């Protein structure tokens, strides 16, 4: 498995406040990796820095062999990174279909790319709501739209930040099903979430951070075997 | 009340509102997408009017003058955006206001140096100089009808551009959440340069169309700029639909208020009080309207964000 994304000794922060103190993280082709940790430990900052939305003050980020740290967000996105951000950030003044069509592209040059029809087949609820505006959707529908919107760019790497947060249990289950389907199709995914048992079933490898540092990383089997890690770093 | 007068003033209000819309459309997108206060927007209106007057004088063709003014002002707008305004997006509003106010002074002075201090005359095409009888007894200047037609046409074209094209989707996405639009791969700065060029061309169109009604003179951009800001605040920053509704409201209230408020006051107040109070009240009417809208809907009528 070649490394798709390699983050090395990444440091970042906001103004004078340093948040990341040297993050190492890698995601391979066709691999699902998680980034775990309690709230406020730097997970979202890691994602924001990766996407070019926050400044990296040190370290390197390589995507498909190229340095992308501190490139403009639109350049990073066009190289094939797509994010399903915390809080979904659906465009409220675009309809469901426009949210999907506006950013469509085949950024990973897939032979069988995601199209509007394929996204509708994968997430049928969106087709029912296609004429609704982004702000007329339920939380679960917004989450599906954020996933569909990211898929429409045909990314090499899909990043999900708290994709199941604030959703009803049944809806959350739908989202997990979606992610399992995508993983089975070979989509490389970096996922942040707090349901460790579900992530162990979904992902191949895990990285846990605490106060901006990596404190544990390993495979699903290793994480499953060491519940001490859960208590120490995840408060589960 | 004389129905002919009411109809005539309503048409005037519609015509002025549509021209305000041409200015407000660019302004609201610039403010909405880049969070940039561009006071020099009114200067583009002035430059457009001067270009039109100069070309019309040289060639005798009004419509050629309009086309050249739109193209020329779009080019000036893009040069301005790429060389100067782009550096201001990340600064706070005070810096933007100072820098673009300096642009107003500089462009006023430049226009004065090139065309002199006296106002220029821009004549409507001779075929449109006379009135048309719309209804028995209602004569209305043909050129004003053309202004209404042009305004409606642009409104329809802009509506199509914004709501039915991919560029429009990206503009709306950028206006509601610029950071997320960039994270989705939108080259917001390129989209913005295009928007700025269109906005500048629309300023020039408004300047050229209003030139025959108002004087083409230095400082003409400032008074209308204030109205354009009122329009976009009422309509909701970043919203084209808001700009259209806001512009029509302001155009109507301003025009109709100036005509009828003094008449109504004369009916209930002593003549001297009414003749003093009427014009004064009429000129603050749109600000009362703005305050009212902001009281009930602080985000404006059609907010683009959230």
Q: What pLDDT, in 10s, does the model give residues B44-101? A: 999 999 999 999 999 999 999 999 999 999 999 999 999 999 999 889 999 999 999 9
Distance (Å) from the alpha carbon of B168 to chain A's nearest alpha carbon: 9
Size of interface A-B (CB pairs under 8 A): 64
A192 in Cβ contact with A44 (< 8 Å): yes
Whole-number Å distance between alpha carbons of B187 and A80: 15
Which residues does chain A have within 8 Å of residue B186's beta carbon, measured at their own beta carbons? 74, 102-103
Distance (Å) from the alpha carbon of A202 to chain B's nearest alpha carbon: 25
Q: What is the per-residue pLDDT for B274?
A: 83
Question: Does residue B91 fall inside a structural domain?
Answer: yes
Question: Does residue B230 fall inside a structural domain?
Answer: no
Q: What is the per-residue pLDDT for B265?
A: 87
Which residues does chain B have within 8 Å of residue A92's beta carbon, measured at their own beta carbons? 176, 305-306
DSSP character for A233? Answer: I
Predicted confidence band at A116 (pLDDT cuts at 50, 70, 90)? very high
Which residues does chain B have within 8 Å of residue A85's beta carbon, measured at their own beta carbons? 180, 183
Interface confidence, given as ipTM, is 0.93
Q: What is the per-residue pLDDT for B277?
A: 85
Question: Does residue B152 fall inside a structural domain?
Answer: yes
Q: How far is CA A34 from CA A31, B9, B181, B254, in A?
A: 10, 66, 25, 60
User: Among candidates B202, B285, B288, which has minimal Cα distance to B243?
Assistant: B202
First to last CA, chain A: 31
Whole-number Å distance between alpha carbons of B184 and B258: 48
Token representation of residue B44: 């583009």
Task: Note whether B179 contacts A93, CB cutoff 8 Å.
Answer: no
The beta-carbon neighbor of B169 closest among A78, A89, A98 is A98
> What does the DSSP assignment read for A149-180?
HHHTT--SEEEEESTTTT--HHHHHHHHHHHH
Question: Does residue B102 fall inside a structural domain?
Answer: yes
CATH of domain A1-79+199-236: 3.40.50.300
B207-221 pLDDT, tens digit per residue, is 999 999 988 999 999
Whole-number Å distance between alpha carbons of B156 and B151: 9
Distance (Å) from the alpha carbon of B232 to chain A's nearest alpha carbon: 17
Which residues does chain A have within 8 Å of residue B236's beta carbon, measured at their own beta carbons? none
A192-205 pLDDT, tens digit per residue, is 998 999 999 999 99
β-sheet with A157-161: strand ranges across: A81-84, A157-161, A188-192, A32-36, A205-210, A213-219
Q: Long-range CB contacts (< 8 A, 24+ apart) of A223-227?
A: A223/A196, A224/A200
pTM: 0.83
DSSP character for A60? Answer: E
Q: What is the per-residue pLDDT for A2?
A: 62
Distance (Å) from the alpha carbon of B172 to chain A's nearest alpha carbon: 7
Question: Does residue B293 fall inside a structural domain?
Answer: no
Which residues does chain A have within 8 Å of residue B176's beta carbon, measured at their own beta carbons? 91-94
Question: Does residue B172 fall inside a structural domain?
Answer: yes
A164 in Cβ contact with A84 (< 8 Å): no
Question: Does residue B29 fall inside a structural domain?
Answer: yes
The beta-carbon neighbor of B170 closest among A77, A102, A149 is A102
Whole-number Å distance between alpha carbons of B19 and A226: 70
pLDDT higher than 60, residue A32: yes
Q: How many CA atoms lie within 13 A of B160 on its CB side?
A: 5
Which residues does chain B have within 8 Å of residue A94's beta carbon, measured at their own beta carbons? 169, 172-173, 176
Which domain covers residue B40, as residue numbers?
3-218
DSSP character for B165? Answer: S
Question: Does residue B267 fall inside a structural domain?
Answer: no
Consecutive 10-residue runs of chain B (306 residues): their mean pLDDT?
Answer: 87 94 91 86 96 95 96 97 91 94 96 94 89 88 94 93 92 89 94 93 96 92 93 91 94 91 86 84 91 93 73
Distance (Å) from the alpha carbon of A11 to chain B's nearest alpha carbon: 20
């Amino acid at each position: 498995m070649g490394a798709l994304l390699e983050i090395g000794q990444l440091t970042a922060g906001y103004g004078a406040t340093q948040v990341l103190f040297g993050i190492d993280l890698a995601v391979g082709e066709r691999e699902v990796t998680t980034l775990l940790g309690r709230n406020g430990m730097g997970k979202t900052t890691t994602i924001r820095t990766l996407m070019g939305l926050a400044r990296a003050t040190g370290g390197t980020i390589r995507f498909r062999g190229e340095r992308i740290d501190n490139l403009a967000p639109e350049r990073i996105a066009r190289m094939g990174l797509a994010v399903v951000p915390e809080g979904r950030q659906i465009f409220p003044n675009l309809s469901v279909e426009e949210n999907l069509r506006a950013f469509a592209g085949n950024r990973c040059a897939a032979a069988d790319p995601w199209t509007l029809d394929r996204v509708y087949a994968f997430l049928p609820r969106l087709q029912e709501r296609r004429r609704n505006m982004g702000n007329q959707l339920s939380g679960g529908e917004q989450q599906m739209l954020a996933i569909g919107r990211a898929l429409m760019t045909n990314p090499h790497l899909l990043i999900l930040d708290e994709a199941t947060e604030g959703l009803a249990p049944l809806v959350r289950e739908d989202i997990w099903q979606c992610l399992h389907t995508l993983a089975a199709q070979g989509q490389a995914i970096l996922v942040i979430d707090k349901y460790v048992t579900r992530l162990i079933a979904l992902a191949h490898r895990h990285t846990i951070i605490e106060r901006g540092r990596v404190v544990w990383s390993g495979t699903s089997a290793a994480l499953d075997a060491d519940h001490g890690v859960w208590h120490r770093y995840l408060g589960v | 009340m004389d129905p002919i007068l009411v109809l005539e003033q309503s048409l005037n209000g519609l015509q002025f509102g549509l021209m305000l819309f041409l200015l407000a459309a660019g302004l609201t997108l610039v403010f909405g997408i880049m969070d940039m206060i561009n006071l020099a927007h009114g200067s583009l209106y002035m430059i457009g009017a001067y270009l039109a007057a100069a070309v019309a004088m040289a060639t005798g063709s009004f419509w050629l003058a309009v086309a050249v003014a739109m193209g020329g002002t779009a080019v000036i707008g893009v040069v301005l955006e790429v060389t100067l305004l782009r550096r201001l997006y990340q600064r706070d509003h005070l810096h933007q206001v100072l820098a673009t106010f300096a642009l107003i002074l500089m462009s006023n002075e430049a226009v004065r140096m090139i065309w002199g201090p006296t106002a220029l005359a821009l004549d409507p095409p001779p075929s449109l100089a006379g009135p048309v009888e719309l209804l028995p007894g209602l004569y209305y200047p043909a050129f004003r009808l053309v202004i209404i037609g042009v305004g409606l046409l642009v409104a329809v074209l802009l509506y199509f551009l914004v709501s039915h094209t991919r560029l429009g989707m990206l503009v709306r996405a950028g206006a509601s959440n610029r950071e997320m639009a960039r994270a989705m791969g939108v080259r917001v700065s390129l989209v913005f340069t295009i928007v700025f060029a269109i906005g500048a061309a629309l300023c020039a169109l408004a300047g050229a169309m209003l030139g025959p009604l108002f004087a083409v003179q230095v400082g003409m951009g400032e008074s209308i700029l204030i109205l354009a800001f009122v329009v976009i605040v009422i309509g909701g920053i970043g919203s084209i639909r808001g700009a259209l509704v806001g512009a029509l409201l302001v155009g109507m209230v301003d025009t109709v208020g100036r005509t009828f408020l003094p008449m109504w006051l004369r009916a209930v107040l002593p003549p001297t009080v009414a003749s003093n109070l009427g014009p004064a009240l009429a000129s603050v009417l749109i600000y009362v309207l703005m305050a009212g809208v902001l009281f009930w809907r602080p985000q404006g009528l059609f907010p683009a964000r959230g």
